Each structure stands twice: as C-alpha cells, then as structure tokens.
Structure 1
C-alpha cells in the first residue's frame, strides 16, 4: 500500500481477534486487517462491475459460466465446441 496511514478504532468480536492473533503471532494486526479490507474493496469493485455489465447486457447465464469454468479447469489440450484451446 502507498501513502500514509490513519488510525481508526474498531470493535471486533473477541473470538475473531483471538483467531487472527493466533495466525499472525507477533505480526502486525493492523497489516493483517488492512489486507483484509483491501480484498473486500476489490470484491466490492468487482460486484459493481458485474452489476453494471448485467444492467447493460442482461444477467449472466449461470450454465454458460459453469461451462467456461469447466474449460478452464480442463487439461490444456482440451478444446471447446468451437475448436479453440481451453
């Protein structure tokens, strides 16, 4: 991350704080939380992009998505119906 930092006071469930502390040990709790927040912002941005695309082109066909996922998971030599490599 670039730029300065800003201090916030947040309240989180005690059990969650304990889980995080166990994972990071003596590491930086703030850095761990910052990375989690960054991932959430990225997810939010992706959701907004999907919503914009769906409003312009209509909803995504889940069957098509699953078909493409299958192609991505397949062996590199596997070809789709058009003859293109996966």
Structure 2
C-alpha cells in the first residue's frame, strides 16, 4: 500500500522545472520531485547527525577521511578480484 498523498503548489525556476519534467520519465514530474525532496531530507538528516557527532568528538581530519577512502578502495579492489586477498 502506498503512502497517502496531498496536492501542493510549488514555485521554481522554469528552466529547472522543464529539465525535471524532461527527466521524469513515465513516473511523472510529481514522483520525480518527491524523490528529489526525499533525498534532500535524507541529506539534511545526515548533516544533523554529522553536526552532533562533531560537537561530541570534534571534526573528522583529512587524514581520517583519506584512510577511510583508502580502505574503501581496497575493499572494492578485493571485491573486483573475487574477494581473494593475499594476507
């Protein structure tokens, strides 16, 4: 069962509306806009969590970020090779 919907009137720049309409495909402009708003809410919530974590633990350093990127790249590399690693 899908969520109940409501009808809303929004105002946006015409070029953005036309680009969204062109990309919306068979699901339509309303579904496209709803998905975009849902993603923005997720990002806002994530930013709130980051702010709380940084307030408690301090900001994440560039070194920590790079270390995590390296770990992710290594995991992707190992996954591409079929999960075998020479350890």
- TM-score of the two chains, using structure 2 as the length reference: 0.78
- TM-score of the two chains, using structure 1 as the length reference: 0.79
Question: How far apart, in 1, do the equivalents of 2:56 and 2:9 lie?
Answer: 40
Aligned length: 79
Q: Which runs of 5+ in 2 are unaligned?
A: 79-84
Higher helix fraction (1 or 2):
2
Relative to structure 1, is the Cα distance of residues 17 and 78 closer, same or farther in structure 2, using a 3 angstrom cutoff?
farther
Q: Which runs of 5+ in 1 are unaligned?
A: 80-86
Relative to structure 1, is the Cα distance of residues 3 and 22 closer, same or farther in structure 2, using a 3 angstrom cutoff?
closer
Task: Return the offset for 1:46.
Answer: 0.4
Partner of residue 30, structure 2: 30
Task: Return the offset for 1:55.
Answer: 0.6
RMSD value, Cα: 2.1
Partner of residue 6, structure 1: 6
Task: Return the offset for 1:69.
Answer: 0.7
Task: Return the offset for 1:63.
Answer: 1.6
Counting only pairs closer than 5 Å after superposition, residues 34-73 of structure 1 correspond to structure 2 as 34-73=34-73
